[in-house]
């Protein structure tokens, strides 16, 4: 019997590894990599970057570099030798990047963006654009999957908390439903963390990894909600602002 429930679905997938189990049921995929790829992408667009090309491999990044593009590349939290910048949101806030096209390759985030495009419209999500993103998703009125980039296919706390924040706002409208335990877990993690996300993540694996690289300012930037009111969407192979 056909369901009479007309509400749209919102669910959370903890890692790209689990994505094949979800991918056929959603219209919009929100790719989340709070530390730091999707926060850096939001920072870039908030600064007026025109387009950003997310590439999976360093080989592709090298090819773009040889064609004269500005290219950022990060592996294991560090800038890859020979590239213009890495994955710090502050690198993407430089005035000289306004109006430019930038290429970016990161350990997990850009890989996840390229995986997600098989499934539906891809939009970039982070804590820095949380509220505007939720408003935009609600306007679209479609089935939404929050896809956490995690760390090398493993679960991570910061992406799950951000996904839980999105779920919380969409469910509050009464126009969405959610059934998966991953979504319930994400929502409860967000509710426990929301008043002090920085403190909540103190012991988290990637926060420790970045802290060891002296990237505390980046961590603070990425964990501060609603500083970049932008909606970056993937169109073909390029990310640009939703028109
Ligand atoms: O994995 C990624 O895409 C990066 O965000 C990792 S890092 O924060 O630059 O270490």
Say yes or no: CB of residue 36 within 6 Å of ligand 1: yes
Best of 54, 74, 105, 114 for a ligand 1 pocket test (most atoms within 8 Å of beta carbon): 74
Question: To 10 degrees, what angle do helices 109-116 and 37-46 make?
Answer: 80
Cα 14 to ligand 1 centroid, rounded to whole Å? 16
Burial of 212 (0-12, 13-18, 19+ CB in 10 A): exposed
Structure tokens that stand for 84 in this block: 């213009």
Q: What is the pLDDT of residues 70-101, one digit of tens each?
A: 999 999 889 999 999 999 999 999 999 999 99
Q: What is the pLDDT of residues 14-66, one digit of tens each?
A: 999 999 999 888 999 999 999 999 999 999 999 999 999 999 999 999 999 99
Say how many C-beta atoms besides its own lie within 10 A of residue 160's C-beta: 26
Say yes or no: CB of residue 35 within 6 Å of ligand 1: yes
CA-106 nearest atom, ligand 1 = 3
Say yes or no: CB of residue 106 within 6 Å of ligand 1: yes
Please report, for the chain, the start and end positions of each structural domain, with discontinuous segments joined by +. 8-232
Sign (positive or negative) of CA dihedral 99, 104, 108, 111: positive
Tell which residue, 90, 85, 89, has the closest CA to residue 70.
85
Residue closest via CA to ligand 1's atom 9 equals 77
Read off the pLDDT of each residue in 98-109 and give the average, rounded to a whole number: 96
CA-76 nearest atom, ligand 1 = 10
Say yes or no: CB of residue 182 within 6 Å of ligand 1: no
Cα 156 to ligand 1 centroid, rounded to whole Å? 12
The pTM of this model reads 0.96
Can you point out the beta strands (E) in 90-143?
Answer: 101-105, 121-125
Residue closest via CA to ligand 1's atom 7 equals 77
CA-151 nearest atom, ligand 1 = 1
Per-residue CA distances from 57 to 45, 61, 140 (Å)? 22, 7, 32
Name the CATH architecture for the domain at 8-232. Answer: Alpha-Beta Complex (3.90)
Residue 243 has pLDDT above 80, yes or no: no
Say yes or no: CB of residue 107 within 6 Å of ligand 1: yes
Say yes or no: CB of residue 108 within 6 Å of ligand 1: yes
Do the bridges between strand 144-148 and strand 8-13 make them parallel or antiparallel, or are there none, so unpaired?
parallel
Tell which residue, 51, 239, 218, 213, has the closest CA to residue 127.
218
Q: What is the pLDDT of residues 188-229, one digit of tens each?
A: 999 999 999 999 998 888 888 888 888 889 999 999 999 999
């Amino acid at each position: 019997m056909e369901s009479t429930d007309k509400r749209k679905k919102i669910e959370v997938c903890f890692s790209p590894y689990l994505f094949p189990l979800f991918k056929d049921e959603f219209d919009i995929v929100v790719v989340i990599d709070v530390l730091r790829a999707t926060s850096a992408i939001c920072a870039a667009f908030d600064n007026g970057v025109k387009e950003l090309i997310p590439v999976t491999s360093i080989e592709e990044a090298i090819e773009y570099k040889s064609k004269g593009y500005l290219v950022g590349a990060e592996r294991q939290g560090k800038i890859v030798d020979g590239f213009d910048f890495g994955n710090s949101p502050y690198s993407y806030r430089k005035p000289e990047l306004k109006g430019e096209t930038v290429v970016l390759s990161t350990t997990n985030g850009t890989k996840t963006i390229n995986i997600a495009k098989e499934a539906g419209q891809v939009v970039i999500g982070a804590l820095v654009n949380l509220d505007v993103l939720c408003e935009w998703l609600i306007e679209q009125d479609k089935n939404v999957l929050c896809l956490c980039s995690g760390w090398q296919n493993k679960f991570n706390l910061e992406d799950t908390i951000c996904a839980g924040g999105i779920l919380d706002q969409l469910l509050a409208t009464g126009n969405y439903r959610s059934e998966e335990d991953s979504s319930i877990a994400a929502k409860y993690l967000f509710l426990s963390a929301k008043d002090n996300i920085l403190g909540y993540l103190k012991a988290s694996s990637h926060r420790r990894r970045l802290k060891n690289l002296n990237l505390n300012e980046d961590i603070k930037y990425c964990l501060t909600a609603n500083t970049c009111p932008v909606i970056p969407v993937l169109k073909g192979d390029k990310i640009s602002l939703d028109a």
